[in-house]
Amino acid sequence: MKRMGLIFRSKATRALDRAEDPRETLDYSYTKQRELLVKVRRGVADVATSRKRVELQMTQLQQQGDKLHGQAQQALGAGREDLAREALTRRSGLQQQILDLQTQHAALQAEEEKLTLASQRLQAKVEAFRTKKETIKASYTAAEAQTKIGEAFSGISEEMSDVGLAVERAEDKTAQMQARAGAVDELLASGALDDVTAAPNSDIDRELASISAGSDVDNELAALKAELPSGERQAIEGGTGPAAAPASRDGAEQPEVRPDQDPPPTRGGTP
């Protein structure tokens, strides 16, 4: 067949040439296979841990974004468009972070699936190897062992190389992502993400707090006034109270009277 530039030819293992007793090679290889299997499973767990960490960060950033959105609404309600704009600007900075994390999350998820499948393949092959190994050891005669052992190794060492490389690559990727995740954690902890694009000397939280504190005081004052006996209320409200109250009461009664009064003229007009 024509030589392929990119495609590599697989080489069969030569490990058994070095062993005094080929059966020891079988056991040694099996031990190595089991070790690799443990390593792959640990790799899957590591990637899953990283994925969960990114998920947690996405939730935290999302919550911060929701909070800023609520603050923007609150600021608009208080007539502070400048604060609302600032909150929304900070929020858009967070959205970018969230998008980055989503990309990382997808990559980790793909890596996790790939490694899980690799682990399943390796496990099936290790199991098949074990069966072959036991058969060979049971019916051992030096002559037939040489050929059978050669056959037993086919496929397994290739799979081990592949899976071994896959685990290494996954570890590298996970390490990179953990470094980035660590940076995001630090940002979240420092509160610096609140200030991604904001002017240094303005604090949405504090200003909104003072606005809402101010309106809370007004509301409580109004409630306290309402609870006072009418004499005291008049004393507090001064001369305007007694004069204004009857006037507004009269004004409220008049419209209620009119609908009753209106029909008679209409009836009188029709005959």
Residues that bind other proteins (CB under 8 A): 1-2, 4-15, 114, 117-118, 120-121, 123-125, 127-129, 132, 151-152, 154-158, 161-162, 165-166, 169
Residue 7 C-beta: closest distance to other proteins, Å: 4
Nearer to other proteins, 8 or 200 (CB): 8
Residue 101 C-beta: closest distance to other proteins, Å: 20
Tokens representing 194? Answer: 């609140």
Nearer to other proteins, 15 or 56 (CB): 15
Please calculate the CA angle 28-33-38 and round it to the nearest 5 degrees. 130
Cβ atoms of residues 89 and 197 within 8 Å: yes
Please name which of 100, 128, 174 lies closest in space to residue 26, comparing C-alpha atoms. Answer: 128
Nearer to other proteins, 61 or 166 (CB): 166
Please name which of 27, 65, 29 lies closest in space to residue 161, comparing C-alpha atoms. Answer: 29
Nearer to other proteins, 2 or 267 (CB): 2
Count the neighbouring beta carbons within 10 Å of the beta carbon of residue 10: 10
Residue 11 C-beta: closest distance to other proteins, Å: 4
Q: How far is CA 89 from CA 43, 102, 173, in A?
A: 39, 20, 32
Nearer to other proteins, 60 or 123 (CB): 123
Tokens representing 4? Answer: 């392929």
Distance CA(131)–CA(239), nearest Å, equals 104
Residue 105 C-beta: closest distance to other proteins, Å: 17
Residue 114 C-beta: closest distance to other proteins, Å: 6
Nearer to other proteins, 152 or 184 (CB): 152
Nearer to other proteins, 118 or 204 (CB): 118
Residue 27 C-beta: closest distance to other proteins, Å: 17
Cβ atoms of residues 164 and 47 within 8 Å: no
Cβ atoms of residues 115 and 167 within 8 Å: yes
* Enclosing H/E stretch for 249: helix 240-261
Residue 131 C-beta: closest distance to other proteins, Å: 9
Distance CA(178)–CA(28), nearest Å, equals 35
